[in-house]
Amino acid sequence: MSLGASARLRGERVLLRPWRDDDLAPFAAMNADPEVMRHFVAPLTREQSDAFAQRARLQVEQAGFGLWALELPQLRFAGFVGLSAVPFVLPVPDLAPDPHEIGWRLARAAWGQGYASEAARLALRHAWDVLRRPQIVSFTARGNQASQAVMRRIGLARRAEFDHPRIAEGHPLRPHVLYAIEAPGARATVVGS
Ligand SMILES: CC(C)(COP(=O)(O)OP(=O)(O)OC[C@H]1O[C@@H](n2cnc3c(N)ncnc32)[C@H](O)[C@@H]1OP(=O)(O)O)[C@@H](O)C(=O)NCCC(=O)NCCS
What is the spatial distance between Cα 22 and Cα 71, in angstroms, rounded to a whole number? Answer: 12
Q: Provide CB contacts within 8 A for 75, sequence distance 6+.
A: 107, 109, 110
Total number of domains constituting the chain: 1
List the domain range (segments joined by +) for residue 106: 9-192
If DSSP codes are grouped into helix, strand and coil, which group holds residue 59?
A: helix
User: Which helix (H) or strand (E) element contains residue 48?
Assistant: helix 46-63
- Tell whether the model's pLDDT for residue 147 goes beyond 70: yes
Question: Probe ligand 1: pick from 84, 104, 151, max atoms within 8 Å of CB?
Answer: 104
- Ligand 1 atom with least separation from CA of 79: 39
Say what the pTM is: 0.95
Mean pLDDT of the chain: 93
Confidence of residue 3 (pLDDT cuts 50, 70, 90): very low
pLDDT score for 187:
72
Q: Provide CB contacts within 8 A for 52, sequence distance 6+.
A: 27, 31, 44
pLDDT score for 2:
42
Ligand 1 binding site (Cβ under 6 Å of any ligand atom): 36, 39, 103-106, 111-117, 140, 144, 146-147, 149-150
- Tell whether the model's pLDDT for residue 191 goes beyond 70: no
Question: Probe ligand 1: pick from 40, 113, 122, 176, max atoms within 8 Å of CB?
Answer: 113
CATH of the domain at 76: 3.40.630.30
Q: Which residue has the higher pLDDT, 1 or 150?
A: 150
